[in-house]
Amino acid sequence: MTAAVTLNSLAPELVGRRVSVQVPATSANLGPGFDTLGLALALYDELVVEVLPAPGVDIHVEGVGAGEVPTDESHLVVRSIAHVLAHYGYALPGLRLEARNSIPHGRGLGSSGAAIVSGVMAAKGILEGVVEISDNDALALATELEGHPDNVAPALFGGLTIAWTTPEGPQHKKLMVHRGVSPVVFVPEHVMSTALARSLQPESVPHEDAVFNVSRSALLVAALIQSPELLLAATEDKLHQNYRAAAMPETNALIVALRAAGYPAVVSGAGPSILVLASDPGQRLGAADLVASVSETPWQALHLAVDFKGSVNASA
């Protein structure tokens, strides 16, 4: 039986500390790069956290999730802060959270990863001067909560990230994206459960499909950083999107139509949103026109830049 661990209270001088955090949306997988590739997008959740003298949490949410997400200690940001503090031996103090959310929930744009990273970065700010949390530490702590690093890595560091795991923990490499790459995300009104999407994956895939995806993943990195004209071929996938298609028929139909017209369209994360990695701003306008003309239900087109900063942390 594991002995209970006694956590220390924060030093009195940390009471009243305020930290602001800004975290970008992310799109993982990018077609063939399942659980490996992620891209940060210029759509942000913002958070201000204040350490209170008395226990308890006071949570205010504006924008996405207002009136829907929990406003007690089960809130994902609070759980993330508590996880980081406990890792360094500290109990959760009283907290006031002011969240302004723009990232859609349950649409494949990394909302849970953004909440986790928000909590990790808030805890880092709270502990500044007491505990120094490195980039590798932040990635490891966020991955422990998220389960895989493909969303939290770009949320933390920005740009295009390649993430992998080792016995020493998750690792990442950040790459700068070619300036011609012009993402557009099509967001439907309906949601998709990440757990359901993952449950549709087979435990094994044919050897030729694995080889196919290895080649396309390598090509995709080259296309994103150097040769955007190769994006249509580079975003082909045989590992996950076909298996999930039946659960997202509208998403699948639009991706088929977009790709048939020459647009590099993929499922964003676990879906149901669609990411088009256009090679120039004009191409993404064409993709938006096509979606508007063929879709039977509303899809919001988000014309987003690639975010190169990642999460930003400052004293509030």
Q: Tell how strand 265-267 and strand 160-166 pair up.
A: unpaired
Rounded to whole angstroms, the Cα distance separating 313 from 49 reads 11
Beta bridge partners of 271: none
Nearest to 119 by CA among 101, 145, 88: 145
- Mark the binding-site residues for ATP, compressed into ranges: 104-114
Rounded to whole angstroms, the Cα distance separating 256 from 253 reads 5
- Mark the binding-site residues, compressed into ranges: 104-114
Contact, 121 vs 24, CB < 8 A? no
Residue 73 burial (CB < 10 Å; 0-12/13-18/19+)? middle
Q: What is the CA radius of gyration of the chain?
A: 20
Calculate helix-pair angle for 111-126, 135-146, nearest 10 degrees: 140
Rounded to whole angstroms, the Cα distance separating 2 from 114 reads 32
* Amino acid letter, residue 151: N
Nearest to 246 by CA among 279, 214, 215, 271: 271
Contact, 185 vs 266, CB < 8 A? no
* Amino acid letter, residue 273: S
DSSP-H helix ranges across the chain: 76-87, 111-126, 135-146, 152-157, 194-199, 207-225, 231-234, 241-244, 249-260, 281-294
